[in-house]
Every structure is written in structure tokens, then in C-alpha cells.
């Protein structure tokens, strides 16, 4: 392995597990320098820095880190710049089905509130908008819990994954379900250019949350299923027309609910 590789999946899709898989054979890290990268992402989105300034900053940050595998949800937000700065880099996109991802992320946000001065608070707003956004009546339980609208979460799920598929060259991308990280470990190792025995020390679900109150249970099952299916179908449609359309089957498998519903 000669060039830097990236994990570009969203939070709660197995990113910490992916980073742990290769820690004994590669210089790897999970979400290194998050505050700096979040600041760059927010500044670029707000127009405070140019694309060239963003790229120069990324070059400096990753040179200082001296990693071989950088796994971070923030990488997905910066995917256009990463592809321009590191055109030879391989990318691993971990995907989780929208319902279990939604439930896990909401639980994470309830159990880990962030004050306004915390960079992760800014990153949540970058991804989901303002919590003051209008909530539709069927999902008002999210508003009462201090969360974002249902469509803000699911829309981000679709947009993040779509942007990876649309921007990364197909030969540079490996798409894997979070459920199949262990099963596909040797294939990922080969894709990254390391020996297949690199995955022997893999840990299962290294960032498992403890579930408490679930505001999703107050939402109509029919309504929630309809919204989840809508955004899954939207991602699959965009995957079929993306430059990585050859990965459509992997995306379909990764986004299929565990119960097949």
C-alpha cells in the first residue's frame, strides 16, 4: 500500500470497526483532527474559504497525520476536495440500512448532547440544518426530544451516500454493508493493497451505543416505513445513474433492512 486511503461512510455505519480492522498492519485512525476538519467544512460551505484554500489545508493536515488509512464521517462531506487532492486514493464506503442507521444516530444524539460551542454541534447543523426547522406532525416526537426533522436525517443519509457514488471513480471505491464488514474483510484488505491476514484482529461493533428512550416509537409505523422506503428508493435511483453504477447491487444489499421489509 503506497497511498493514503479513506473511509468515507457516515457515523453509525461501522466506521470505527473499519479503522480497527487494520490497526496492526497500517497507520490508521478513526476521526483524527475532527475539530480542524469540521471548521474547514463549515468555512467552505459558508464561502469563507475557497476551494483552493480548502485543498491546501487538507494537504497540510493529512501530511502531518502521516496515516495510511483515515476513517471519518467528515471525509464524506469533504469528498470532492479529497478526490481532487488525492486522485489515487482508494475509498471505502460503509453503508447501513436507513432505518437502523436512523435509530442508532438518534440514540447517539440523545445520549451525547453537544453544547453550541462544541465543533460537533456545528457539524450536526451542517448535516441536518437548524433544530428550529419545521417538523411535520407525524414526527413531532423528534422535536420534543430536541432533534432534527425526520426528513433532514433521511435526506442526509441519501445525499451523503449519493455524493460518494457520484464523485469517486468506480475503480477507487469499495462499497460494503456494515453487516458484512467481517464477511468481506479479506476483500477490503485486498482492495487496500494489504495482506488478507490483516483482518485477523478485527473487533465487532467497536462503538456500540446503549439504547434508552426511542422517540421513533411515537411515530406511525406506516408513516416511518413510507419515508424510509422513499429515501432508500431515491438513493438506489441515484446510484443507478452515478459514475459508480457498477456498485448498485452492493448499495441495494447494504441498504436492505435486516428483516427484508
What's 137-175 look like in SS3? Answer: HHHHHHHHCCCCCHHHHHHHHHHHHHHHHHHCCHHHEEE
Q: What integer pLDDT is reported at residue 80 of this predicted model?
A: 97
Structural domains in the chain (count):
1
Q: What integer pLDDT is reported at residue 135 of this predicted model?
A: 73
Grid coordinates of 254: 447494504
Rounded distance, CA 75 to CA 33, Å?
11
3-state percent breakdown (helix, strand, coil) of the chain, nearest 5? 55, 5, 35
Q: What integer pLDDT is reported at residue 136 of this predicted model?
A: 75
| CATH classification at residue 177 | 3.40.50
Grid coordinates of 244: 459508480
Residue 89 lies in a domain: yes
Nearest-CA neighbor of 206 among 8, 14, 13, 5? 14
- Predicted TM-score (pTM) of this structure: 0.93
Residue 26 lies in a domain: yes
Residue 212 lies in a domain: yes
Q: What integer pLDDT is reported at residue 168 of this predicted model?
A: 97
Residue 157 lies in a domain: yes
Residue 88 lies in a domain: yes
Q: What integer pLDDT is reported at residue 257 of this predicted model?
A: 84
Residue-number span of the structural domain to which 35 is assigned: 5-255
Rounded distance, CA 30 to CA 50, Å?
27
Measured at the CA of 79, the angle between CA 76 and CA 82, to 5 degrees, comes to 130
Q: What integer pLDDT is reported at residue 213 of this predicted model?
A: 75
Q: Along the 261 residues of the chain, how does pLDDT read in single tens digits?
A: 558 999 999 999 999 999 999 998 899 999 999 999 999 999 999 999 999 999 999 999 999 999 999 999 999 999 999 999 999 999 999 999 999 999 999 999 999 888 999 999 999 999 998 766 667 778 889 988 889 999 999 999 999 999 999 999 999 999 999 999 999 999 999 999 987 666 655 565 555 555 567 899 999 999 999 999 999 999 999 999 999 999 999 999 999 987 655
Residue 130 lies in a domain: yes
Residue 261 lies in a domain: no
Residue 260 lies in a domain: no
Amino acid at each position: 500500500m503506497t497511498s493514503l486511503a479513506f473511509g468515507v461512510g457516515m457515523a453509525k455505519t461501522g466506521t470505527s470497526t473499519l479503522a480497527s480492522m487494520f490497526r496492526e498492519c497500517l497507520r490508521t485512525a478513526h476521526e483524527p483532527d475532527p475539530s480542524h476538519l469540521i471548521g474547514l467544512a463549515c468555512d467552505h460551505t459558508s464561502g469563507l474559504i475557497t476551494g483552493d484554500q480548502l485543498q491546501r489545508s487538507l494537504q497540510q493536515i493529512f501530511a502531518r497525520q502521516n496515516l495510511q488509512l483515515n476513517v471519518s464521517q467528515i471525509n464524506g462531506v469533504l469528498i470532492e476536495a479529497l478526490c481532487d487532492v488525492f486522485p489515487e486514493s482508494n475509498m471505502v464506503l460503509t453503508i447501513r440500512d436507513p432505518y437502523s442507521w436512523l435509530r442508532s444516530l438518534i440514540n447517539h444524539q440523545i445520549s451525547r448532547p453537544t453544547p453550541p460551542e462544541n465543533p460537533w454541534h456545528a457539524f450536526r447543523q451542517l448535516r441536518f440544518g437548524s433544530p428550529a426547522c419545521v417538523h411535520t406532525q407525524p414526527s413531532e416526537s423528534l422535536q420534543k426530544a430536541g432533534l432534527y426533522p425526520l426528513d433532514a436525517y433521511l435526506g442526509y443519509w441519501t445525499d451523503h451516500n449519493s455524493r460518494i457514488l457520484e464523485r469517486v471513480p468506480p475503480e477507487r471505491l469499495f462499497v460494503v454493508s456494515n453487516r458484512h464488514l467481517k464477511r468481506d474483510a479479506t476483500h477490503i484488505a485486498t482492495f487496500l493493497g494489504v495482506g488478507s491476514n490483516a483482518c485477523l484482529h478485527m473487533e465487532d461493533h467497536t462503538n456500540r451505543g446503549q439504547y434508552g428512550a426511542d422517540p421513533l416509537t411515537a411515530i406511525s409505523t406506516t408513516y416511518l416505513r413510507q419515508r424510509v422506503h422513499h429515501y432508500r428508493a431515491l438513493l438506489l435511483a441515484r446510484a443507478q445513474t452515478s459514475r459508480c453504477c457498477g456498485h448498485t447491487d452492493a448499495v441495494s444489499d447494504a441498504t436492505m433492512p435486516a428483516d427484508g421489509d
